[in-house]
């Protein structure tokens, strides 16, 4: 299924029958990716007195309650409402769902933080060297090494890699609208609530930017080569600052 696309003066073709799914499944129990000290996802059948709504228990249907945290469980997309007093619903934000994108792979560099810990950081210089002269609408960031446990890791307390605030500000300055990365946050796990990269990318509190999103805890397959893609960014119509999402790439032919 080949689509020919004209967009902002660019012409390209993509094979829609070969999607590259970047999402992590949202599933119950241990062994699935999570962060921020949340427990595992829970999916339990509804109970009404002695009736358990599960086919295995004799009910006519499976009818389950689901308990999860959008920020802490699996791939999710967030709006500026993550750091504003009012929750700006990410489910109302997107007006279209396809964007030009560039996939880049970066090996984080070590930096000593003010608290004495040695952090691993994605720097402004690394992004400047990796992103094309004509910036895409979306940047998909794969950190190296691309370990196989990214889909099952518990990131809590791991002091994961994060993005320099200057790098986030630069992405905004060149017109990047959507930032996707295989980490639990663009910011340091413990930063005293500063969230410098979030603030820089959304330029908050100077503005309430309802045109940009951040998608965290993706997984990029090794088989996907760095380069230009078409990104499909789909998420449910959640009236919340974040929602589980399923970003998909299509290679440009």
Q: Please state, in angstroms and rounded to a whole number, the distance separating the CA atoms of residues 171 and 173.
A: 5
Q: Is the pLDDT of residue 10 over 90?
A: no
User: pLDDT tens across 57-67, in order?
Assistant: 999 999 999 99
Task: For strands 162-163 and 118-122, give the pairing.
Answer: parallel
Q: Please state, in angstroms and rounded to a whole number, the distance separating the CA atoms of residues 59 and 128.
A: 58
pTM given for the model? 0.96
Q: Would you call the peptide bond into 165 cis, given omega within 30 degrees of 0 as the criterion?
A: no
Task: For strands 138-143 and 98-106, give the pairing.
Answer: parallel
Instruction: Give the CA distances from residue 137 to residues 12, 87, 97, 131, in Å, rounded to whole numbers and listed in that order.
Output: 15, 24, 12, 11
Q: Please state, in angstroms and rounded to a whole number, the distance separating the CA atoms of residues 118 and 237.
A: 39
Query: What is the second-level CATH architecture of the domain 2-26+71-251?
Result: 3-Layer(bba) Sandwich (3.50)
Residue pair 74/32 in contact (Cβ under 8 Å)? The answer is: yes
User: pLDDT tens across 14-49, in order?
Assistant: 999 999 999 999 999 888 999 999 999 999 999 999
Q: Is the pLDDT of residue 51 over 90?
A: yes
pLDDT of residue 115: 87
pLDDT of residue 113: 86
Average pLDDT for 90-119: 95
User: pLDDT tens across 147-182, in order?
Assistant: 989 999 999 999 999 999 999 999 999 999 999 999
What residues are paired with 216 via a beta bridge? 76
Kindly state the percentage of the chain with pLDDT values over 70.
100
Residue pair 90/98 in contact (Cβ under 8 Å)? The answer is: no
- Hey, where are the domains in the chain? 2-26+71-251
Q: Is the pLDDT of residue 9 over 90?
A: no
Helix (H) or strand (E) holding 64: strand 64-67
Q: Is the pLDDT of residue 116 over 90?
A: no
- What's the mean per-residue pLDDT of the chain? 96
């Amino acid at each position: 299924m080949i689509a020919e696309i004209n967009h902002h003066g660019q012409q390209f073709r993509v094979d829609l029958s070969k999607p590259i799914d970047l999402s992590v499944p949202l599933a119950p129990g241990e062994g699935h990716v999570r962060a921020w000290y949340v427990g595992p996802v829970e999916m339990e059948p509804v109970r009404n007195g002695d009736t358990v709504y599960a086919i295995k228990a004799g009910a006519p249907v499976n009818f389950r309650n689901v308990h999860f945290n959008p920020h802490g469980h699996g791939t999710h997309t967030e709006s500026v409402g993550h750091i504003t007093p009012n929750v700006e619903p990410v489910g109302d934000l997107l007006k279209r769902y396809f964007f030009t994108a560039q996939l880049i792979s970066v090996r984080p560099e070590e930096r000593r933080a003010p608290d004495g810990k040695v952090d691993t950081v994605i720097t402004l210089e690394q992004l400047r060297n990796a992103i094309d002269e004509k910036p895409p609408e979306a940047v998909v960031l794969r950190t190296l090494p691309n370990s196989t446990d990214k889909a099952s890791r518990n990131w809590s307390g791991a002091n994961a890699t994060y993005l320099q605030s200057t790098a986030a500000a630069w992405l905004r300055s060149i017109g990047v609208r959507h930032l996707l990365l295989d980490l639990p946050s663009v910011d340091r796990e413990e930063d005293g609530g500063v969230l410098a990269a979030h603030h820089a990318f959304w330029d908050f509190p100077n503005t309430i930017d309802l045109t940009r999103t951040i998608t965290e805890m993706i997984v990029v397959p090794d088989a996907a080569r760095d380069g230009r893609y078409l990104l499909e960014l789909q998420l449910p119509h959640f009236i919340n600052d974040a929602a589980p999402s399923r970003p998909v790439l299509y290679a440009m032919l």
